[in-house]
């Protein structure tokens, strides 16, 4: 799903070892979850949820979503909204008072989707390769 994506198709690889190593690293970090959605035994959706404590906003703990993907044949069926409901429930259970994410400006449909779920596009997301 990461590779079968408008932006991901040019930037993912076929060497699985690096992904397995990252999966182990996520597990070791704690509070860094990879959630998959199954339908009749097939993995059809995935997202990453990370809990980050911090001092800002009266020491509000944040939950952050990355890498939201739905398998192409299963888009438009409400799986995205179901994933976000799941993420919000997990974030509340972990004591988070804020859910945050960034989306590439090129993902125009994603932007209206997030606004429809009550997310405010208040910030600009900057990235720099190291």
Binding site for its own copies (CB under 8 A): 2, 8, 11-13, 15, 18-19, 21-23, 25-26, 29-32, 34, 48, 50-59, 61, 63-64, 66-67, 88, 91-92, 96-105, 111, 114-115, 117-130
119: Cβ contacts below 8 Å, ≥ 6 apart: 99, 101
Are residues 113 and 82 in contact, defined by beta-carbon separation less than 8 angstroms?
Answer: no
Nearest by Cα to 68 from 114, 31, 22: 114
- Strand 32-39 versus strand 42-52 pairing type: antiparallel
Give the nearer residue to its own copies in terms of CB position, either 38 or 120.
120
Q: How many other β-carbons are positioned within 10 Å of the β-carbon of residue 109?
A: 11
Are residues 34 and 46 in contact, defined by beta-carbon separation less than 8 angstroms?
Answer: yes
Closest distance to its own copies from the beta carbon of 55 (Å): 5
Closest distance to its own copies from the beta carbon of 110 (Å): 9
Closest distance to its own copies from the beta carbon of 10 (Å): 11
Give the nearer residue to its own copies in terms of CB position, either 73 or 118.
118
Give the nearer residue to its own copies in terms of CB position, either 75 or 103.
103
Give the nearer residue to its own copies in terms of CB position, either 57 or 72.
57
């Amino acid at each position: 799903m990461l590779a079968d994506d408008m932006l991901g198709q040019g930037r993912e690889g076929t060497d699985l070892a690096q992904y397995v190593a990252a999966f182990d690293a996520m597990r070791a970090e704690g509070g860094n979850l990879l959630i998959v959605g199954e339908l009749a035994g097939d993995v059809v959706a995935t997202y990453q949820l990370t809990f980050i404590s911090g001092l800002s906003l009266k020491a509000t703990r944040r939950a952050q979503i990355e890498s939201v993907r739905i398998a192409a044949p299963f888009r438009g069926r409400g799986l995205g909204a179901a994933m976000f409901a799941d993420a919000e429930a997990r974030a509340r259970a972990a004591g988070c008072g804020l859910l945050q994410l960034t989306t590439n400006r090129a993902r125009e449909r994603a932007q209206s989707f997030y606004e429809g779920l009550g997310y405010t596009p208040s910030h600009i997301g900057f990235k720099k390769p190291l």
